[in-house]
Amino acid sequence: MACGARREPGLPGRFTSLAGMLKRAGAYLRGRLVKSPAWGELVQETLRLHPSVRGPRDRVLADPTAVLNGAMLNTVSGTITIGRHAFLGDDVALLTGTHDHTLTGLERQQAVPDGGRDIVVGEGAWIASRAVVLGPCTIGANAVVAAGAVVTGDVAAGAIVAGVPATPR
């Protein structure tokens, strides 16, 4: 042990050690840039920080440069396509599933379509934290969906939408 270094005994020392490991792991994840041998450019590896997929996983088509930050992806009723350099903030929900509001009771609960409610997130789009996107819809290239917004239809390329339901700003 270095001169002047202090080691805390017991449980506090273990927590200090664990905190240090978590800090180093976070720094490692933030710095994950790799050199692309094919193009010679820096590309960010896909950061899939524990996204949750409900439904068939093969219906998630995410570009390797997309950042998913713990998103909840529901693919029960369609495919979710996420474009190059798209960014999803914490706790974003992309939901393809739906229930028929004209039905009631058990019939409503069990009547879920197999497809046709696809969601497409365009290149460079940013969906901020806790936004909800309900399929079918397309979020255009470089569009911004504000935090907490509920998207119920298409968002034009380059548009900024916010609110419940989300509308252009």
Mean pLDDT of 134-155: 96
Domains of the chain: 10-45 (no CATH), 46-168 (2.160.10.10)
User: Are the beta carbons of 138 and 132 closer than 8 angstroms?
Assistant: no
| Token reading at 161 | 């939408």
Residues recognised as catalytic: 101
**pLDDT > 90 fraction of the chain, expressed in percent and rounded:** 47
Question: Which amino acid would we find at residue 134?
Answer: L
More confident residue, 129 or 40: 129
Report the alpha-carbon distance of residue 163 to residue 66 in Å, rounded.
24
Q: What is the pLDDT of residue 65?
A: 84
Report the alpha-carbon distance of residue 42 to residue 48 in Å, rounded.
18
